[in-house]
Amino acid sequence: MLMEEADDAALRSDLEEWIEAKAFPCVGAKSALARGNLRVMAARDITSAWNDVKIHDALLHWAWDYRDDPGGLRSLAVVFAGPNDLSEDEFERHMWDRIQSLADKDHWRGQPYDESVSPDPENPHFSLSFGGQAYFVVGLHPNASRPARRFHHPTMVFNLHDQFERLREEGRYERMREAILKRDEALAGDINPMLARHGESSEACQYSGRAVPKGWKPPFEDKRA
């Protein structure tokens, strides 16, 4: 095995072990991993655009595959080798740099915006869109203030918005959400103040894991807005 392949395997293994840990609160991620529906990609550096085309390619195929077979919870996690010493503000800035770059590529490649969500990050119905499917992001990094977001490497987990709408239609979403909130409270001592249901406030506030102040606006603008 080449050194780069060995490093990629180590990053994937680190994330899988972290999700499998008993204290990890997100039962959705645990389900996706257990069912083989969690894809983990390794990338070099969250402060660099080095892997952005590769990541965007994966997001397109992830969206198209879901459209062909929309069953089950699934997530696409991009684990960056570093830097591992970013502050919360620094991680948030570089995470949005990557999101902006990916959105620009989606526009350049002529992909439509998912009409079920808004491209305006201040809109309560905002979500990202890649390959015509809505996504939201969960950011993880070593210096996150929330224990549930405190992973060894900077990571961006892309979740398809539609799968949670399907859970809501099936009457399973609220039960899963309640289980996650209880587990997160047991881990951190309180519930993440940024958490809200889609449509109550913009989900952009939740992406980095940082408790953002009132009136905060993400550094993001989709050309299709």
Beta strands in the chain (DSSP E): 38-45, 75-82, 128-130, 133-140, 155-160
Residue 74's region, left for phi above 0, alpha for psi from -120 to 50, else beta, is beta
Q: Is the peptide bond prior to 83 cis by the omega test (within 30 degrees of 0)? A: yes
Q: What number of other Cβ atoms are within 10 A of residue 62's Cβ? A: 20
Q: How far apart are CA 114 and CA 106, in angstroms?
A: 12
The neighbour count for residue 82, using CB atoms within 10 Å, is 14
- Specify the pLDDT at position 8: 85
**Average pLDDT over every residue of 121-147:** 96
Of residues 119 and 1, more confidence is placed in 119
The residue ranges of every structural domain in the chain are 3-206
Select from 101, 106, 100, 56 the least CA-distant residue to 78: 56
| Nearest alpha carbon to residue 37 among 9, 66, 60 | 66
In tens, the pLDDT along 7-19 reads 788 999 999 999 9
* pTM of the model as a whole: 0.94
Q: Are 43 and 81 in contact (CB under 8 A)?
A: yes
| Residue 127: pLDDT over 90 | yes
